[in-house]
Amino acid sequence: MLHVYNSLTRRKEPFEPLEPGRVRMYVCGMTVYDYCHLGHARVLVVFDVIVRYLRELGFDVTYVRNITDIDDKIIRRASENGEPFERLTQRFIEAMHEDAAALGVLPPDHEPRATASMDDIIRMIETLVAKGYAYQADNGDVYYDVSCFEGYGQLSGERPDDLRAGARIEVDEAKDDPLDFVLWKAAKPGEPSWPSPWGEGRPGWHIECSAMSTRCLGDHFDIHGGGMDLKFPHHENEIAQSEAATGHKFVNYWIHNGFIQVDEEKMSKSLGNFFTVREVLGRYQPEVVRFFILSSHYRSPLNYSEDNLDQARSGLDRLYTALRGARPDEGEMLPDFLLRFRDAMDDDFNTPEAIALLFELARDLNRAKEQDAPEAADLAATLRGLGSILGLLQADPQLYLRGGGAPEGLSDAEIEALLAARAEARARKDWAESDRIRDQLRDAGILLEDGPRGTSWRRA
Ligand code: ZN
């Protein structure tokens, strides 16, 4: 039986969905103002495998992953670029879809966008105001009154009084209590805004997820997921909003994946050790990146380093080498391996153990191939079949193994010419063309860094 680590109860629990045979799951998606980085790749791949495995177990899964397409960072970036915010978000939604597809991530069943969910968001805020959980402040913003919600801190383990002691109110905020958080932000001049009972404005981030998850999955559903950094305050606030609005439990199982580290340090823009998915895909085949992500347990930190990526590549090479020349289509899955695979995955989606089993299969398969033994086809069918549950090993082994090297290099002069063309495109605000050139360079293993003194480049 499947056991899942539930962040809410802080222990592994048997997984029992609300409705037998059906699973309803929501994961916090991207805020689309820039390219996805490795942390996003991990969320995409981890929850993709969870969905695939739940389906493998026979559950009818409804998977919702939202898009935050309005917020402060989006507004700031669009104004820096001098473009409408919708154009910026559309461009990065497309880029995110490309990255997800490259990593073998299946599209979610629903992908609601905040800007297309205003009615649901406003309705939920109205309910919270009517029930006395929210108030409009002097500056026009609407806030959630944390002191009214008894269970605050249940997910993060934070105590409201401790939080209050460490918190402070920013000068531009008008809330009563430092823990209160914004539900509706009054529009400042020139900002995108929507009409509401509290005047023109836009929603806070937390209420978007409460409203979108409820609309797609109902008031009470099975799984809510996201990166560990969202546990507090984002998910804590989602619980406070949703449970106050509906009067009952919001989510049964909270699943959080761990951080990405780079050379044992936390990945962050300020440390300069920040990688976009596109940069990494310029150097490694997408399936290697997926394999690398799954070779650590989803709750452990994932350490990005060239050594670890190279190790993932040689591991995946080994599996494909075993499959080369084998005939999986003529074999059948071996039930013993399937059982052991399920044991590993039933233990809180233990992908490293599941992958260890793939290596065991590859060793047996190599031996069977050498001896021309009849069980080779069954071993190959099992290896490829179990790989498919993880979204791995579905390529033609020949093609995968041939594509293993880095892309063909460009000369310095060719790179400079492309950079000049990109600068021209940017000057005439042709972002599509500028991004296309950036992608072309990325595919050739050239990384660009836009700075105050123009664009510099380096070879990956
Ligand atoms: Zn969210």
Digit-coded pLDDT (tens) for 342-374: 999 999 999 999 999 999 999 999 999 999 999
Per-residue pLDDT for 410 more than 90? no
Cα angle 349-350-355, degrees, rounded to a multiple of 5: 120
If asked whether residues 39 and 169 sit together in one domain, one would say yes
CATH number at residue 362: 1.20.120.640
If asked whether residues 311 and 166 sit together in one domain, one would say no
Tell me, yes or no, whether 188 lies in a domain. Answer: yes
CA of 285 to the centre of ligand 1 (A): 30
If asked whether residues 204 and 347 sit together in one domain, one would say no
CA of 28 to the centre of ligand 1 (A): 4
CA of 226 to the centre of ligand 1 (A): 8
If asked whether residues 349 and 425 sit together in one domain, one would say no
Angle 335-346/376-389 helices, nearest 10 degrees?
A: 20
Tell me, yes or no, whether 249 lies in a domain. Answer: yes
Lowest mean pLDDT among 61-65, 202-206, 394-398: 394-398
Tell me, yes or no, whether 26 lies in a domain. Answer: yes
CA of 250 to the centre of ligand 1 (A): 13
CA of 142 to the centre of ligand 1 (A): 19
Round the average pLDDT of the chain to a whole number and report it.
93
If asked whether residues 377 and 424 sit together in one domain, one would say no
Tell me, yes or no, whether 296 lies in a domain. Answer: no
If asked whether residues 183 and 331 sit together in one domain, one would say no
CATH number at residue 216: 3.40.50.620
If asked whether residues 333 and 427 sit together in one domain, one would say no
DSSP reduced 3-state for 4: strand
Domain that holds residue 40: 17-262
If asked whether residues 60 and 134 sit together in one domain, one would say yes
If asked whether residues 440 and 392 sit together in one domain, one would say no
If asked whether residues 48 and 138 sit together in one domain, one would say yes
| pLDDT tens-digit series, residues 153-180 | 999 998 898 888 877 767 667 888 889 9
DSSP output for 187-233: PPTTS--B--TT-SEEE-HHHHHHHHHHHHH-SSEEEEEEEGGGIII
Tell me, yes or no, whether 193 lies in a domain. Answer: yes
What is the value of pTM for the model shown? 0.87
Contact (Cβ atoms closer than 8 angstroms) between residue 131 and residue 244: yes
If asked whether residues 29 and 49 sit together in one domain, one would say yes
Residue whose C-alpha is closest to residue 121's, from 73, 74, 76, 69: 69
Per-residue pLDDT for 404 more than 60? no
* Domain count across the chain: 3
If asked whether residues 28 and 172 sit together in one domain, one would say yes
CA of 213 to the centre of ligand 1 (A): 9
Cα(65)–Cα(285) distance, integer angstroms? 25
Domain boundary among 354, 370, 401: 401
Cα(105)–Cα(321) distance, integer angstroms? 24
